[in-house]
Structure 1
Amino acid sequence: MVLKLRVEAEVRPTESREKVEAAVKRIFPTLNLELVGQRLVGEASDVGALSQFHRLLRQQAILDTARSVLLANKRGNATHFMLNKQVAFVGRISFTEGESPLGPISVSLEAPNIDLLIDYLAPKTREGKPIVEIEPQALQD
């Protein structure tokens, strides 16, 4: 599956580029980020770029929340969400609905089978545990 991941984070005047980059890299460590204007932007097309995000969702036991956010923001073959930049800096995931004081990390995902990608990242659960885990290889087909 060809996917498109795009991550953006504004570098505000009171922030250092290095700290904003560190926040993004703690969630998406393999992204190459470029400064475009006042925003750090990174793109990837392989599922491996999502592996840390995938792992953190399970480690923090927030699969149900993640699934709700991904499905609520799904439009066609894409979905998007925002992460709290300050929380990401300490290597944790916190979804945010709107603007935070330092601005969010904005994440867009696009894939021909977006439902399969959502099931991979945040599968349905029973008592907080995934009912079925999809292996990343299933997304390579």
Structure 2
Amino acid sequence: MINADVTFSAPVYMTEDLEKVKAAVSNMVNHGRPKTEEILPETISGANTKHEKNQTECDNINPFISDAENIKQTVVAAGNLDLLSGIHYLIRKEEIIDTANTALMQGIDETGCRTFVSLNKQAALMKHLSFPADIEPLGSVYLEIEAETPDDLLRIIDWLTPPTKEGIPIYELKMNEL
């Protein structure tokens, strides 16, 4: 199985309710997961705080945040590919495979090993998946996927968003096939 680090994070602005932001992140991570297996996001004080993730330090949790002084905390769920089960389910439920694929492919960095996308925070709170077209006033839920090789990242993206014909997947990889 492919090794990858997955991080969902969301800034909590001074005007926001921490519990609602936690719920938005939790909805992206846990949708479709049995209650007994839910993964709870943690809260970190300070928007640009480094935190421990799999025994390594992660730089700025939200690299697109430029308004750090108005952020009181950041909600983070970090782990492995298991964290992607929720959005895997939501991409199909919302019938946005092609849109999700475009967002994930456009978010790939220069190394080819990492992709970074924004998810609409308000939609996430309502258990929906949406990729905002522009920067949102209260920030987004940010998803970062980092694989060991560019081929591994493309395989993960292929699992999340397989090729389609008229919006229907041509084939579906199982998570254990990664």
Please report the TM-score for the alignment, with normalisation by the length of structure 1.
0.92
Larger radius of gyration: 2
Q: Deviations over 1:96-140 (max 9, x none)?
A: 24421211111100113100000000111001111111100012x
The 8 Å contact of residues 41 and 75 in structure 2, kept in 1 or not, is answered as no
Read off the aligned partner of 1:22 and give its amino acid letter: A
| Percent of residue pairs bearing the same amino acid type | 36
Farther off after superposition, 30-39 or 128-137: 30-39
RMSD, aligned α-carbons: 1.2
| 2:72 pairs with 1:33 | no
Farther off after superposition, 49-58 or 33-42: 33-42
Gaps of 5+ in 1: none
Quote the Cα distance in structure 1 between the aligned partners of 2:168 and 2:40: 29
Q: Deviations over 1:81-100 (max 9, x none)?
A: 00110111000011024421
Quote the Cα distance in structure 2 between the aligned partners of 1:84 and 1:135: 26
Length, aligned pairs only: 138
Quote the Cα distance in structure 1 between the aligned partners of 2:117 and 2:45: 20
Query: Runs ≥4 in structure 1, deviation > 4 angstroms?
Result: none
Gaps of 5+ in 2: 31-38, 47-72
Quote the Cα distance in structure 2 between the aligned partners of 1:99 and 1:43: 23
Cα offset for 1:16? 1.0
Please report the TM-score for the alignment, with normalisation by the length of structure 2.
0.74
Quote the Cα distance in structure 1 between the aligned partners of 2:24 and 2:41: 13
